[in-house]
């Protein structure tokens, strides 16, 4: 028996996925500005490459996670057509 999520939970997952993608894209836009500011600081002078790699990795994970939620929302079956509905008499 396949259980499906209620429509309100499914739409919440879609909204959350969109928010994750937007946050990741925002980070991709923001990283060059922030790393330029960090490069001027004496504390991060040697570690600017590490900081940049970590920030881009975090942005990629946000975009990937959001895209996964959005794709799973559109690939899932509508809540009215559950598999195994005809198996009730068995």
Q: pLDDT tens digit string along 51-70?
A: 889 999 999 999 999 999 99
Global pTM? Answer: 0.71
CA–chain centroid gap for 79, Å, is 23
Strands in 1-90 per DSSP E: none
For residue 5, what pLDDT band results from cuts at 50, 70 and 90? low
Domain spans, the chain: 30-74
Give the mean pLDDT of the chain: 82
Cα 22 from Cα 17, distance rounded (Å): 9
């Amino acid at each position: 028996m396949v259980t499906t999520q209620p429509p309100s939970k499914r739409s919440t997952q879609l909204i959350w996925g969109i928010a994750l993608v937007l946050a990741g894209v925002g980070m991709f836009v923001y990283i060059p500005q922030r790393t330029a500011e960090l490069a001027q600081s004496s504390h991060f002078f040697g570690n600017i490459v590490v900081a940049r790699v970590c920030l881009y990795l975090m942005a990629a994970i946000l975009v990937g996670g959001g895209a996964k939620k959005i794709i799973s929302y559109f690939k899932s079956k509508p809540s009215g057509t559950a598999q195994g509905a005809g198996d009730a008499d068995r």
